[in-house]
Amino acid sequence: MTHPFRGDLLPMAVGSLPHTNPIVACDLIRQYLPQIPSWPQLPKRTFFENMYVQYSEGFPGIVVSRQGERIYVDRERDLYPELEQLYASYLENNLDAGALSSGYAAGLAHFLTLEFDSACAVKGQISGPVSWGLTVTDQDRRPLLYDEVLADAIAKHLRLKAAWQERELRRLAPHTIIVVDEPYLASFGSAYVPIERDQVVMLLEEVFAGIQGLKGIHCCGNTDWSVVLSTSVDILNFDAYKYAESLSLYPDAVRGFLERGGIIAWGILPVDDEACLMTEDVASLTRKLEGAIQLVASRGVPLDALLTSALITPSCGMRTLSERGAERALILLTEVSQRMRQKYLQL
């Protein structure tokens, strides 16, 4: 990990917004996050922008039901020709096979038409192979991840999607950040999700291998952070509002991650509950963030490294908020970042 990018407590979004108009959503991102703008996912615009449907385009046997709002793979079809085409695209590194069309990602389509003069990096995101494979099922509602062939196909499909997205974003800023969204890692180790550590790492690394710039993982629940940090990930984005203590249980892994240039993105804004968000202000969130960082530092992780190698984000995507709530969250995010940067980095 030799990238020259440092977090420096800058603000960054996670992904989704509650808006349905991509122009309005992108304008909001440009206004509040000029240093690290990210293209907005707009799941309220259409079912096709659901985080799992959004990256399904082109997967072998995929069926998206408009009426029932269901996504699945029809294994009663002959999947061999489509799987063969996917593997050919993968082997040829045909990134166009991983394109996201405007019908599935209107926010990205508009984002790519804009200029970002103040951006040090631009961010995109993609569903992770574990979460995608556990959410998307076959016609009999069996998760695809439990099929060895399809699990491998998922990772290669998402790798192409990530690589295409990064190629397009690279035109906009010096650095790119592609974050792999893995909410189901919170279920890792559960008896209800029988998946081995080695398979998790293998699937993630397959997707990471297609990303040339900064690669991140977002998990908004608790998990075994040593598994995540054992990968080649550059940025760990987690819900620091609720789970700072859980990260502090892995000081050796965190210290090693920072020593190799890793960045922690602290999700300090509680955006899963608008009422909770409305009770917070800049002072309370700053105290909460300081407490989270100090807790990890108290376990033997250098405080200076935690501060300089930090980003500040919402705890998760903002799709469940109102548009007013999302703007308030972005205002709080930028103001917490400014306060922390002035206090600790004199920036």
| CA atoms of 345 and 87, how far apart (whole Å) | 47
Structure confidence by residue, pLDDT tens digits, 23-69: 999 999 999 999 999 999 999 999 999 999 999 999 999 999 877 68
Structure confidence by residue, pLDDT tens digits, 114-144: 999 999 999 999 999 999 999 999 999 999 9
Residue 150 domain-assigned (yes or no): yes
Tell me the residue range of the domain where 319 lies: 10-345
Q: Over the chain, what is the mean pLDDT?
A: 94
Angle between helices 148-169 and 197-208 (to 10 degrees): 30
CB 60 within 8 A of CB 83: yes
Task: Give the confidence band of 189 by pLDDT, cuts at 50, 70, 90.
Answer: low
Q: Which of 82-86, 178-182, 342-346 has the lowest mean pLDDT?
A: 342-346
Residue 85 domain-assigned (yes or no): yes
Place of tokens 């790519």: 112
Residue 1 domain-assigned (yes or no): no
Structure confidence by residue, pLDDT tens digits, 289-328: 999 999 999 999 999 999 999 999 999 999 999 999 999 9
Q: How far is CA 34 from the centre of its chain?
A: 19
Read off the tokens for 314: 């919402």
Q: Return all residues near 226 (Cβ < 8 A) that are at least 6 apart.
A: 250, 253
User: In the predicted model, is pLDDT for residue 194 greater than 90?
Assistant: no
| CA atoms of 288 and 239, how far apart (whole Å) | 12
Total domains, the chain: 1
Produce one character per residue of 183-196: b if its CB has 16 or more CB atoms within 10 Å, e if not: bbbbbbeeeeeebe
Residue 213 domain-assigned (yes or no): yes
Residue 220 sits in a domain whose CATH number is 3.20.20.210
| CA atoms of 345 and 347, how far apart (whole Å) | 5
User: In the predicted model, is pLDDT for residue 4 greater than 80?
Assistant: no
| CA atoms of 37 and 12, how far apart (whole Å) | 7
Structure confidence by residue, pLDDT tens digits, 63-101: 998 776 899 999 999 999 999 999 999 999 999 999 999
| CA atoms of 37 and 22, how far apart (whole Å) | 14
Residue 3 domain-assigned (yes or no): no
Burial class (CB in 10 A: 0-12, 13-18, 19+), 275: exposed
Structure confidence by residue, pLDDT tens digits, 242-300: 999 999 999 999 999 999 999 999 999 999 999 999 999 999 999 999 999 999 999 99
pLDDT value at position 2?
A: 47
Place of tokens 């703007």: 327
pLDDT value at position 311?
A: 98
Residue 46 domain-assigned (yes or no): yes
Structure confidence by residue, pLDDT tens digits, 197-252: 899 999 999 999 999 999 999 998 889 999 999 999 999 999 999 999 999 999 99
| CA atoms of 119 and 39, how far apart (whole Å) | 13
DSSP string, 40-108: PB-TTT-GGGSTTTTTTTT-TTEEEETTTTEEEE-TTS--HHHHHHHHHHHHTT-GGGGPPPTTT-HHH
Residue 115 domain-assigned (yes or no): yes
Helix (H, G, I), strand (E, B) or coil at 205: helix
pLDDT value at position 161?
A: 98
